[in-house]
Amino acid sequence: MPLISTKTKKNLVVGAGFSGAVMAERLASILGEDVLVIDKAKNLAGLAFDYKESGINIHKTGSHIFHTNHDFIWKYLNRFSKFDIYSHKAKAFVEGHFIDIPLNLNSLYQIFPASLAQKIESKLLKKYGYGAVVPLSDFKTNPFFFDCDLEFLAGYVFQNIFEGIYKKRRNSIFDSRQAFVKEKVSISLTKDDRFYKSKYQGLPAFGYTKLIENMLSHKNIRVLLDTNFKTVDVEGFDRVFYTGPIDEFFNFKYGMLNYKSAVFELEELDVEKYQNSGVTVYPNNYDFIKIHEFKHFKIPHSEALLTFQQKEAKTPWAQKTIISKEYQTDFMPGKNERLYPVLDEKNLKILSQYKAEAKKLNNVYFFGRLGDFKYYSMDCAIKRALELFDAVKFKAAIEFCKEQNPESVLNRV
Ligand SMILES: Cc1cc2nc3c(=O)[nH]c(=O)nc-3n(C[C@H](O)[C@H](O)[C@H](O)COP(=O)(O)OP(=O)(O)OC[C@H]3O[C@@H](n4cnc5c(N)ncnc54)[C@H](O)[C@@H]3O)c2cc1C
């Protein structure tokens, strides 16, 4: 029974990634409305799509680690799946050593001889105190503070870590010094070697695709995969929720928004483990930028639970690993995926024109990483969808009051 309408509204949700799934789930379970979810892909979950191979859960688009500081988002997601506890760690391969990134006090000892590391560490602690997060550009740009050891550290990180990554991300090397300052490349004065410091971190125990499937398992929701928005007649839908690319919706009339993309190459290897962390970044060596190894994401449960005999019997899990080499590329329509929006002046101007067009439409909502042309971590995409749902619910409540009471003061505003 619909909660705040006399007739059940019909909703079309375009995209079955996190953004679309959250919206569909809320419309169906809170408003009791009908929802058709379509996705042009053959699978659910958008960029978070994962699947099993040789018993290992593969993330198709690089590593996807869920992390959030928001209690309500963690609680919301845990209604649809159990989560495995996991703290993500990443390393960078620099001058033959694997060093913690983001940089922390351990990284100093992994990079430099102990005497130099100690000297830099004590200068940093004396000046900033334990626990501070210090942008390295401070050592180069602050005219009131000059210390040759700290300046050396900043220069080392710029040349041996940042510049290589920046170049591999297919950026113009001329901007690299400005980017080093703008991106606030920092060192954390702690021994905390986790990649994310969020309060909650983990991975859905049965994968993201299963989690999204659970979110969409509601009697009011119908899902059509392999279905492009362009082929759907929107007549008959009261609202359209669009999480595809906003420029595509308007047939690129103001031009195409630019993204960076990547290619992920899987390799199955006959070794128990290939590397010491879930992700290793290669700033200077080889032509790939990262290697992801998915087995790391499941260690506490799967490996700990293997009996000695299973390990001896060399189960597929123990015997094999799967890695994914990530190569950065430009976005080429029809050839690869839109991954990272390029937020330069040109694109932001184009975006503002599409946003102005979008405002003129009634009951068509744009959101998600492609609809907003914005990088969202998964929790931010979920938060954005939940907030949009609240606005839609509020609008529906006002319309309901007007319908129920034509004399209402609401009909005069
Ligand atoms: C390489 C990479 C790694 C990432 N790692 C992390 C991480 O570790 N942790 C984290 O929190 N976040 C991570 N993210 C971010 C995460 O992927 C996004 O937050 C999330 O995917 C956003 O979900 P979405 O639903 O907005 O978009 P998407 O997942 O892209 O979903 C959009 C859906 O719309 C569909 N669609 C598009 N056009 C049409 C059309 N015309 N018709 C029908 N369907 C259409 C697409 O097929 C897609 O399924 C990463 C992102 C990238 C690029």
| 315 shares its domain with 175 | no
Q: Which DSSP symbol is given to 144?
A: T
| 99 shares its domain with 183 | yes
Has residue 87 been placed in a domain? no
Listed residue (211, 244, 208) closest to 40, CA to CA: 244
- Whether the model clears a pTM of 0.85, i.e. scores above it, the answer is yes
Q: How far is the CA of 310 from the centre of ligand 1 (A)?
A: 37
135 touches ligand 1 (CB under 6 Å): no
Task: For residues 130-153, give the mean pLDDT.
Answer: 83
| 73 shares its domain with 128 | no
Has residue 248 been placed in a domain? yes
State pLDDT tens for residues 290-343: 999 999 998 544 454 555 555 555 555 668 999 999 999 999 999 999 999 999
Q: How far is the CA of 260 from the centre of ligand 1 (A)?
A: 14
pLDDT of residue 372: 98
Domain that holds residue 156: 95-188
**Number of separate domains in the chain:** 3
CA dist., res. 294 & res. 56, Å (int): 7
Choose the residue to mutate in 47, 294, 338, 366 for probing ligand 1, maximizing ligand atoms within 8 Å of C-beta.
47
pLDDT of 75 above 90: yes
Has residue 5 been placed in a domain? no
pLDDT of residue 301: 46
State pLDDT tens for residues 374-399: 999 999 999 999 999 999 999 888 88
| 172 shares its domain with 246 | no
Listed residue (96, 110, 158) closest to 285, CA to CA: 96
Ligand 1 atom with the smallest distance to the CA of 38 is 43
pLDDT of residue 8: 75
11-15, 221-225, 265-269, 409-413 — which is least confidently predicted? 409-413
Of 188, 219, 240, the position where a domain reaches its end is 188
| 239 shares its domain with 365 | yes
pLDDT of residue 6: 54
| 210 shares its domain with 174 | no
pLDDT of residue 143: 58
Has residue 4 been placed in a domain? no
State pLDDT tens for residues 16-50: 999 999 999 999 999 999 999 999 999 999 999 99
Q: Which two tokens stand for residue 138?
A: 């401070």
Instruction: Give the confidence band of 404 by pLDDT, cuts at 50, 70, 90.
Output: confident
Q: Whose CA is nearest to atom 5 of ligand 1?
A: 64
Ligand 1 atom with the smallest distance to the CA of 230 is 41
CA dist., res. 221 & res. 27, Å (int): 9
373 touches ligand 1 (CB under 6 Å): no
Of 330, 349, 370, the position where a domain reaches its end is 330
| 226 shares its domain with 246 | yes
Has residue 3 been placed in a domain? no
41 touches ligand 1 (CB under 6 Å): yes
Q: How far is the CA of 192 from the centre of ligand 1 (A)?
A: 29
| 266 shares its domain with 166 | no
Encoded amino acid at 218, one letter: H
Has residue 197 been placed in a domain? no
* DSSP helix/strand/coil, 93: strand
State pLDDT tens for residues 202-241: 999 999 999 999 999 999 999 999 999 999 999 989 999 9
Has residue 90 been placed in a domain? no
